[in-house]
Chain A
Amino acid sequence: MRMKRWLASFLTVMLLALPLAGCAADPKPQAANSPAAANDGGSGKVVNIDFWGGWTGPDLNTMEGLVNKFNQEQSDIHVEFTSLQWTPLFTKFLTEMKGGNPPDVLVMHPFELGQFVEMGVLDSAPIPGVGMETGNYSSFAWGGTFYKGEQYAVPLDVHMHGLYYNKDLYNEAGITNPPLTGEELIAIAQKLTIDNKGKRADEEGFDENNIVQYGLGFSMNHHVFYQIYALLNQQGHNPFTEDMTAVELDEDKMANAIAFLQDLVFKYKVVPKGEKSPVDDFMGGKVAMFVDGPWQMPKLEESNIQWASSPYPKVFDNSAAWGAAEILTFPLKKNNDPDKAKAAVEFVKWLDSNSGEWAKSGQLPSSNVGMQTAQSMEGREAFINSLDSSVLLPSHPKAAQIFSSTAPSPILTAAQDAILNNKDPHEIAKQLKKDMDSLLQE
Chain B
Amino acid sequence: MKSQGKVAALFLLPYLLVFLVFRFGPSVAGLFIGFMKWNIVGDAQFAGLANFKKLFNDPIFWVSFKNTLLFLLLTLPPLIVFSLLMAVLLNQKLRFRNAVRTISIIPYVLIPAVVGIIWNWLYDNNFGILNYYLKLIGLGPIEWLTSEKWALFSIALVTVWSYLGYNMILYLAGLQDISADLYEAAKIDGATGAQAFMRITLPMLKPITSMVITLTLVNTIQIFDQIFVMTNGGPGTATLTLVQYLYGTAFQNYNLGYGSVLGIATLVILIVFVQIQSRLLKLDD
Contact = CB atoms under 8 A, between A and B. Distances in A.
Bound pair (A, B): yes
How large, as a class, is the contact surface on chain A?
A: 35 or more
B222 interface: yes
A124 interface: no
B78 interface: no
B148 A406 contact: no
A162 to B, nearest CB: 23
B145 A413 contact: no
Contact of A22 (B22, B135, B214, B248): B22
Of A277, A404, A420, most B-chain CB atoms within 10 Å? A420
Contacts of A94: 39-41, 254
A95 B264 CA distance: 21
A416 B234 contact: yes
A23 interface: yes
A214 B41 CA distance: 48
A97 B42 CA distance: 10
B133 interface: no
Interface string A386-417: 00000000000000110011111000110011
B260 A5 contact: no
A15 interface: yes
Contacts of B256: 21
Contacts of A18: 222, 243
B253 A401 contact: yes
B261 to A, nearest CB: 9
Given A6-B275, A274-B126, A274-B143, A413 B237 contact: yes
A13 B218 CA distance: 7
Contacts of A210: 135
B219 to A, nearest CB: 8
Interface residues of B, number: 65
B260 to A, nearest CB: 6
A168 interface: no
A421 interface: yes
Given A273-B143, A408-B237, A119 B224 contact: no
Contacts of A273: 125-126, 143, 146
A174 to B, nearest CB: 25
Given A5-B275, A273-B146, A405 B232 contact: yes
B267 interface: yes
A350 B52 CA distance: 50
Given A5-B275, A21-B27, A406 B252 contact: yes
B235 A420 contact: yes
Given A9-B274, A276-B124, A407-B232, A21 B218 contact: no
A57 interface: no
A251 to B, nearest CB: 20
Nearest to A26: B251
B33 A21 contact: yes
Contacts of A21: 26-27, 29-30, 33, 250, 256, 260, 263
A91 interface: yes
Contact of A416 (B60, B235, B250, B251): B235
Given A274-B143, A274-B145, A281 B127 contact: yes
A100 to B, nearest CB: 11
Contacts of B278: 5, 8-9
A17 interface: yes
A25 B234 contact: no
A37 interface: no
B146 A274 contact: yes
Contact of B22 (A9, A19, A400): A19
B270 A407 contact: no
Interface in A1-52: 5-6, 8-10, 12-25
Interface in B120-139: 120, 124-127, 135
Contacts of A14: 23-24, 27, 267
B175 to A, nearest CB: 23
Given A13-B218, A19-B30, A25 B247 contact: yes
A23 B252 contact: no
A406 B248 contact: yes
B209 interface: no
A14 B19 CA distance: 9
B236 A421 contact: yes
Interface string A284-312: 10100000000000000000000000000
A25 B228 contact: yes
A22 B26 contact: yes
A6 B272 CA distance: 9
Contacts of A20: 26-27, 29-31, 260, 263-264, 266-267
Given A5-B278, A421-B148, A98 B41 contact: yes
B23 A19 contact: yes
B152 interface: no
A19 B25 CA distance: 8
B243 A23 contact: yes
B250 A17 contact: no
A407 B244 contact: yes
B215 interface: yes
Contacts of A135: none
A143 interface: no
21 contacts: A6-B271, A15-B23, A18-B222, A19-B26, A20-B26, A25-B225, A95-B40, A220-B146, A272-B126, A274-B147, A276-B145, A281-B126, A401-B252, A406-B233, A406-B244, A408-B233, A408-B237, A408-B240, A408-B248, A413-B236, A416-B236
Interface of A: 5-6, 8-10, 12-25, 87-88, 91, 94-95, 97-98, 119-121, 210-211, 214, 220-221, 272-277, 281, 284, 286, 400-401, 404-408, 412-413, 416-417, 420-421
* 7 tightest A-B CB contacts, nearest first: A407-B233, A20-B30, A274-B146, A20-B263, A21-B30, A274-B125, A272-B126
